[in-house]
Amino acid sequence: MTRFFVLTLNGLTQGAIYAAMALALVMIWRATKVINFAQGAMAMFTSYLALFAIDHGAPYWVGFLVALLSGLLLGGIVERVIVRPVESAPPLNVVILTLGLLLFLEALAPMAFGGQIKSFPPAFSIVGLRFGSTQVAFSPFDVFTLGAVLAVMVLLLVLFQKTNLGLRMRASAFNPEVSRLLGVRVGRMLTLGWALASLVGALAGVLIAPSLLLYPTFMDDVLVFGFTGAVIGGLDSAVGAVVGGLVMGFALAYVGGYFGSDLETVGALVILIAVLMVRPSGLFSLQRVRRV
Amino acid sequence: MVAVRARPNRLVSPTLRRHLPLALGAGVVLFLLSTQIGAYDDYNLAAVAIYAIAAAGLNLLTGLNGQLSLGHGALMAIGAYTASLLLKDHRQFPVVVVLMIAMLSTGVIGIVFGFAAARLRGPYLAGATLTLAVALPQVATRYKSIFGGESGLTVPQPAPPAWLGADFPPERWLAWIALAAAVLTMLLLANLLRSSVGRAFKAVRDDEAAAALAGINVARTQVLAFVISAACAGLAGALFAYWSGITSPAGFSLALSLQLITAIVIGGLGSLAGAVWGSVVLVFVPLLTSGMASRVNLPSSVADNLPLAIYGGILVIAMLVAPHGIQGALRRILAIGRARWGHTPGGGQKGVVDWDDPAPDT
């Protein structure tokens, strides 16, 4: 029972990070109908930038801000410079484009920052909390991770549901033509959507970097699990992304804990297939699949 | 391929009469080429042939049937492990038998995946196959006693027959095997695509509802495309096992699956020739870039990663300037040339372009 409790806590923290990654993917999918395979690599790069700042004497929080802001900037630049020109190209081309960006960033990072594996400092202690005499595998940094992801999600919810800007962004994603006629600067909204999604991805990177260590491909698995979570939840649903990410976190923790860590990805595959066989467009998708 | 064999009258069809001379011509050219180059280049040529088989199968699935698979590396792994397990117990199995068994077993497993895939669309299928690509190598890591764990299984190199002489380079023999398999696969696929089966694939890709109204069984067509594609991947995987001499999970990483999808998009989606161009790019661009990087005096952290950076950059730029891949660009150049010099279509310069379907894909 204790083991189950510990695994649940681990799953929750990991799941929060996968949820952030899934949310980043879903935001971009909803805005531009693109799966951004470079999302992980972009988060990797912003984590390197954060570490660069910290290594040069900046306090952790400055590094944290560097990661988020550079994520915002990088997302905007990528949308504007690379994705915009292929807006009307076949969808697979955009997939290859983001894959190219992924490879490029993963090669650029060791060139710019050195190829060796680096440790990334956590914001708070990673030693488990104590309740009386028992120590649990849940550290202050895990609490911070959960809090940070939750805070970003609440802020995004407020932005999209309660502000005029959020309404315009949703309108641009829902129907670009009509939005343009109504005076919405659709191009700007898409750039902003990518920038915000990239910020959420950068948050995931900076939060998981202390436990995974920093190397050029360290976000690859997070991207795959985040994508799997997004697909489980349904790519059109932000709530689905969060739920799917958490499902992935718990599933990987339980499978890893009870069956061995080398079966984690197999467990992910089984769950994904099971969900998709029942609901081919994910759990929370509102779209009806047309059957022929 | 199954469908071609099931209709013996097709063997004398005009399609075959068109494709057979091309295949024989390609075979002769490749044979001559392989004898003129060194052993190292023969080895690279074999790699191109192997990638071309897998990429052609993937192009049939993704380009012509519209099912996006990001997990074809996993299907190659099934073929490679089948071959390696066979050779572990029976080292003297003839190459042809090993290749056939690997192809068939991957095709059979492809039926299972195909049924699952036929229910999924677009990014959902991409997600499922992506997870497959990540998960399957883990199975090999887990069951060490069968699959050899991380270190994998060793595969004996196919020995050239005695009549070729004692000092015949084994790399060239390997290249011949791979090239023969590739030419044969292309011939069979080219025939298949010109048949009613190939037309059904495209109809399902373009509009499922319309295809169903025209009397095509959509799900069965999709499963069939997946099975044929899987069989190609299995064949390529078995050849890959011979080629690399070792079958380990690291050889079938997610990168391999992504490379294959890259190859077909760079080469030209929906065309068999495109699969060949893409495979050439896949093998030779990294060789070229690392050659260039090693010639310039650079710090090692830059020199080691420059080829990958250039490769990634090429992918981005290629998608911006040539959205229909190399084959699409070639078609345009040929079309401009014909218009300018008054060549009638089908006459004069033909070459590899006629290998694939005449209607360019949008």
Question: Which residues, at least 6 apart from B215, have a Cβ–Cβ distance to it below 8 Å?
Answer: none
Q: Which of B305, B306, B314, B362 to mutate to test binding with chain A, by most A CBs within 10 Å of its CB?
A: B305
- How distant, in Å, are the alpha carbons of A113, A120, A121 from that of A50? 11, 9, 10
CA distances from B280 to A65, A222, B63, B123 (A): 44, 31, 18, 28
Q: Which DSSP state fits B11? A: G
Count CB-CB contacts under 10 A for residue A285.
18
User: What pLDDT, on a 0 to 100 scale, did the predictor assign at position A89?
Assistant: 79
pLDDT at B343: 56
Angle at B321 between CA B261 and CA A35, to 5 degrees: 45
- What digits encode the pLDDT tens for the residues A142-167? 999 999 999 999 999 999 899 999 99
Residue of B315, B317, B324 to mutate, interface with A, max A Cβ within 10 Å:
B315
CB contact under 8 A, B315 and A260: no
Please answer yes or no on whether B142 and A262 come within 8 Å at the CB atom.
yes
Which chain B residue has its CA at the smallest distance from A115's CA?
A: B301
Give me the pLDDT at residue B346, please: 47
Q: Is there a contact between B301 and A235 if contact means CB atoms under 8 Å apart?
A: no
Q: Residue A228: closest CA among chain B residues belongs to which residue?
A: B127
CA atoms within 13 A on the CB side of A24: 36
Minimum Cα–Cα distance from A34: chain B residue:
B123
| pLDDT at A288 (0 to 100) | 60
Q: Pinpoint the alpha helices (H) of B218-324.
A: 218-244, 254-267, 272-295, 300-321
pLDDT at A33: 86
Sort out which chain B residues have CB atoms less than 8 A from A94's CB and list them: 319
**B300: exposed, middle or buried (Cβ count in 10 Å: 0-12, 13-18, 19+):** exposed
Q: Residue A290's pLDDT is what?
A: 56
Q: Which of A249, A268, A221 is nearest to B253 (CA)?
A: A221
Residue of B70, B207, B319 to mutate for A, most A C-beta atoms under 10 A? B319
- Show residues of chain A in contact with B139, CB under 8 Å: 266
| A207-221, A272-286, B30-44, B336-350: segment of lowest average pLDDT | B336-350
B206 chain-A contacts, CB cut-off 8 A: none
Task: Please state the three-class secondary structure of chain A as a single string.
Answer: CHHHHHHHHHHHHHHHHHHHHHHHHHHHHHHHCCCCCCHHHHHHHHHHHHHHHHHCCCCHHHHHHHHHHHHHHHHHHHHHHHHHHHCCCCHHHHHHHHHHHHHHHHHHHHHHHCCCCECCCCCCCCCCCEECCEECCCCHHHHHHHHHHHHHHHHHHHHHHHCHHHHHHHHHHHCHHHHHHCCCCHHHHHHHHHHHHHHHHHHHHHHHHHHHCECCCCCHHHHHHHHHHHHHHCCCCHHHHHHHHHHHHHHHHHHHHHHCHHHHHHHHHHHHHHHHHHCCCCCCCCCCCCCC
Q: In whole angstroms, what is the distance from residue A215 CA to residue B36 CA? A: 43
Residue B154 bridge partners (DSSP): B246
- Interface check for A81 against chain B (CB to CB < 8 A): the answer is no
Kindly report the backbone phi and psi dihedral angles of residue A118, in degrees, each rounded to the nearest multiple of 5, phi listed first.
-120, 150
- Collect all residues of chain A within an 8 Å Cβ-Cβ radius of residue B265: 92-93, 95-96
Strands (E), chain B: 153-154, 246-247
Smallest CA–CA distance, residue B360 to chain A, in Å, is: 14
The ranges assigned to domains in chain B are 2-253
Among A68-72, A240-244, B171-175, B254-258, the minimum mean pLDDT is found in B254-258
The whole-angstrom distance between A171's CA and the closest CA on chain B is: 22
Q: Say which DSSP state B150 is in.
A: G
The one-character DSSP state at B251 is G
Q: What are phi and psi of A114, to 5 degrees?
A: 90, 145
**Residue among B222, B220, B204 nearest B212 (CA):** B204
Q: What are the phi and psi torsion angles at A214 (to 5°)?
A: -105, 120
Q: Chain B: residue nearest A33 by CA?
A: B123
Burial class, A240, CB count within 10 angstroms (exposed 0-12 / middle 13-18 / buried 19+)? buried
| For residue A73, pLDDT beyond 50 | yes
Q: In tens digits, what is the pLDDT along chain B, a chain of 362 residues? A: 444 455 555 455 777 778 888 888 888 888 888 888 888 888 999 999 999 999 999 999 999 998 989 889 999 999 999 999 999 888 788 899 999 999 999 999 999 999 988 888 888 898 889 889 888 888 888 888 888 888 889 898 888 888 887 788 888 999 999 999 999 999 999 999 989 999 999 999 999 999 999 999 999 999 999 999 999 999 999 999 999 999 999 889 888 898 898 899 889 888 899 999 999 998 988 888 878 777 877 777 777 788 778 878 888 888 888 888 888 888 888 888 888 876 555 444 433 333 344 444 43
- Taking an 8 Å cut-off on Cβ atoms, the answer to whether B312 and A85 are in contact is no
What SS3 state is found at B356?
coil
Residues in chain B: 362
Picking from A29, A96, A103, the nearest residue to B311 by CB comes out as A103
Please give the pLDDT value at position A123.
Answer: 83
Query: Contact at 8 Å (CB) between B10 and B207?
Result: no
What share of chain A has pLDDT > 90, as a percent? 53
How many CB atoms lie under 10 A from the CB of residue B107? 25
Encoded amino acid at B355, one letter? W
Q: Which residue of A has its CA nearest to B120?
A: A280
Query: How many Å separate Cα A261 from the centre of its chain?
Result: 22
Looking at the DSSP assignment, which residues form a beta bridge with residue B153?
B247
Nearest chain A residue to B258, by CA = A99
CA-to-CA dists, residue B305 to A92, A213, B284, B298, B317, angstroms: 26, 20, 16, 11, 18
Q: For chain A, how many residues are written? A: 292
At B7 the pLDDT is: 52
Residue of A nearest to B325 (CA): A93
Q: Is A82 on the interface with B (CB under 8 A)?
A: yes
Predicted pLDDT at B52? 96
CA nearest neighbour of A221 among A21, A8, A2, A1: A21
ipTM entry = 0.83
- In this prediction, residue A287 carries a pLDDT of 62
- Residue B349: predicted pLDDT: 42
Cβ-contact B52, B220 below 8 angstroms: no
C-alpha dihedral over A248, A37, B258, A250, to 10 degrees?
-10
A273 touches chain B (CB under 8 A): yes
Asked if the C-beta of A92 comes within 8 angstroms of chain B's C-beta atoms, the answer is yes
Contact A29/B at CB under 8 A: yes
Q: CA nearest A106 in B: which residue?
A: B309
Contacts of B311 in chain A (CB under 8 A): 100, 103, 107
pLDDT of residue B358: 42
pLDDT, position B9: 53
| Angle, vertex CA B327, rays to CA B265 and CA B189, nearest 5 | 80
Quickly count: other Cβ atoms within 10 Å of residue B268's Cβ.
Answer: 28
Q: For residue B349, give the DSSP letter.
A: -
Q: Is the pTM of this model over 0.95?
A: no
Give the A window 117-176 contacts with B, CB below 8 Å.
none
Coil, strand or helix at B271: coil
Q: Report whether B276 contacts B291 (CB < 8 A).
A: no
Report yes or no: B311 and B266 within 8 Å, Cβ to Cβ: no
Return the amino acid letter for B61: L
Which residues of chain A lie closer than 8 angstroms to B130, CB-CB?
224, 227-228
- Residue pair B204/B211 in contact (Cβ under 8 Å)? The answer is yes
**Is A100 an interface residue toward B (CB < 8 Å)?**
yes
